[in-house]
């Protein structure tokens, strides 16, 4: 298949495919007319890259998965280098979750303080009540 068809099948652009080719993640073969030619293995490779990118992996982080597929493995994450990338990404995500938890605690504390200050101000500035009916004038 040609580059336009590959782009359409994988939900990307021809420009992105050329970029991946320049970065060594995608290898284009040439047909007898000199056009780029791709096959189903390239579709699988691009689906792997897209899935990882959707998960927040950087383009270079996808390289071990691509190399694993190129080596003939049925899945791009069955090689030791791919597993190492997963481990690093999980550690990165755990650190971000911890950081976000700390920020959340600070924001919750600020909200609690602000609500208590608002409630205290409301009590101090409440209009006096009438002794006869409890109505406020």
CATH number of the domain encompassing residue 119 = 1.10.1660.10
DSSP string, 32-75: TTS-EE--HHHHHHHHHHHHHHHTT--TGGGHHHHHHHHTT-SS
Of 87, 81, 43, the residue nearest 64 (C-alpha): 81
pLDDT beyond 80 at 8:
yes
Q: What percent of the chain has pLDDT over 70?
A: 91
Q: Classify 129 as helix, strand or coil.
A: strand
pLDDT beyond 70 at 133:
no
What is the C-alpha to C-alpha distance for residues 129 and 112, in angstroms, rounded to an integer? 28
Does 12 fall in a domain? yes
Q: What is the mean pLDDT of residues 80-105?
A: 97
Contacts of 34 (CB under 8 A, 6+ apart): none
Note down the domain range covering 91: 3-124
Q: Classify 136 as helix, strand or coil.
A: strand
Q: What domain count does the chain have? A: 1
pTM for the predicted model, two decimal places: 0.74
Say what the pLDDT of residue 121 is.
Answer: 84
Say what the pLDDT of residue 69 is.
Answer: 95
Say what the pLDDT of residue 125 is.
Answer: 73
Q: What is the mean pLDDT of residues 94-115?
A: 96
Q: Classify 30 as helix, strand or coil.
A: strand
Residue 134: which pLDDT band, with cuts at 50, 70 and 90? Answer: low
Does 136 fall in a domain? no
Residue pair 92/102 in contact (Cβ under 8 Å)? The answer is no
Q: What is the mean pLDDT of the chain?
A: 91
Does 119 fall in a domain? yes
């Amino acid at each position: 298949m040609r580059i336009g068809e590959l782009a359409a099948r994988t939900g990307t652009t021809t420009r992105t495919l050329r970029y991946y080719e320049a970065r060594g993640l995608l290898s284009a073969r040439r047909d007898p007319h000199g056009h780029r030619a791709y096959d189903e293995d390239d579709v699988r490779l691009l689906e792997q890259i897209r899935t990882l990118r959707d998960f927040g992996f950087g383009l270079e982080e996808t390289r071990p998965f691509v190399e694993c597929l190129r080596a003939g493995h049925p899945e791009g994450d069955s090689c030791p280098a791919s597993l190492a990338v997963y481990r690093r990404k999980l550690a990165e995500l755990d650190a971000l979750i911890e950081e976000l938890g700390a920020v959340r605690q600070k924001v919750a504390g600020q909200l609690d303080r602000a609500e208590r200050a608002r409630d205290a101000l409301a009590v101090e500035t409440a209009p006096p009540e009438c002794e006869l009916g409890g109505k406020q004038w």
